Amino acid sequence: MRTLLLTVSVLALLVFAQRVPAESASPLELRVLSSRTLSGTAGDFVEVVGEIANSSAQATDSITTYLSLVDTGTKMPVDLEDWSAERGLFIGSIDAGQTLPLTWKIHFVQPGAYALAIVAAVEGRDQPIISALTFFKVAAKRNLNPGHVLPVALGEPLLLVFAFLLLKYRRDRKHP
């Protein structure tokens, strides 16, 4: 299911981003509102705030909205499993002219440059609806300094090998 969602979202990003005029006829509109506050440092928790608006004259039912994230550096989709506990938001019904808020809390796991969009799949509709892409960067951060551990991680096994060799040398001298 996850793979299917990822595949659909990437295809949606690639195909529908170039077909904005065709999508303008869609009764639903998706917007990312928090694009300016998205960038941060790895380890940060941020909120992706968006909204879904129904500009048509009739209500729309059974809408599943979810985030689609692409690493623009590696050109690969990102599995959101580690990034967010809230995968998809289901909207039972949205009335005509109504706008509903959408919020996801995400954890910046990997540093890098990303493109994010909100995607909506409406029951009975073949094509998904997608918001404009929002670009953001996640800066690298380490809580711990790995430099401290390297001398011990390398030094201690070497010290033990040295101690064993010394033991062997002393034993060989004692019992030639």
Partner 1 sequence: MLRLLWSKELKAGLYTWKSLAWLLVTSLIFSVTSYLMLTNRELSLLDQTEMLWLLSKVILSAALLVVVIDSSSLITSEFEQETIECLFLAPLTLKDFVLGKLAVSFTLWALVYLVAAPYVIVTSAGSQLTCAMLGYTALYGSLTVLGFTLLVFAVSFFYRSLRNTLTTSLTVLLASSISALFSSGLKRSAFARALGSINPLDNVFASLDNVLVDYQVSLGRNLSFLLPLVGFCAVMFGFLLLALRAFSRKGITKD
The contact set with partner 1 (CB under 8 A) reads 42-43, 82, 109-111, 141-146, 148-150, 152-154, 156-157, 160-161, 164-165, 167-168, 171
- Expressed in angstroms, the distance from the first to the final Cα of the chain is 69
Q: Which is nearer to partner 1, 8 or 42 (CB)?
A: 42
CB of 149 to partner 1, least distance (A): 5
CB of 108 to partner 1, least distance (A): 9
Q: Which is nearer to partner 1, 42 or 133 (CB)?
A: 42
Q: Where are the beta strands (DSSP E) in the chain?
A: 28-32, 40-41, 45-54, 60-71, 76-77, 88-94, 99-107, 112-122, 129-130, 134-139
Q: Which is nearer to partner 1, 135 or 164 (CB)?
A: 164
CB of 138 to partner 1, least distance (A): 11
CB of 125 to partner 1, least distance (A): 35
Pairwise CA distance, residues 62 & 4, whole Å: 19
CB of 166 to partner 1, least distance (A): 9
Burial (CB count <10 Å: 0-12, 13-18, 19+), residue 157: exposed
Q: Which is nearer to partner 1, 36 or 175 (CB)?
A: 175
Asked whether the beta carbons of 117 and 15 are under 8 A apart, the reply is: no
In the numeric block, the tokens 């869609």 are attached to 26
Q: Which is nearer to partner 1, 132 or 160 (CB)?
A: 160
Asked whether the beta carbons of 84 and 134 are under 8 A apart, the reply is: no
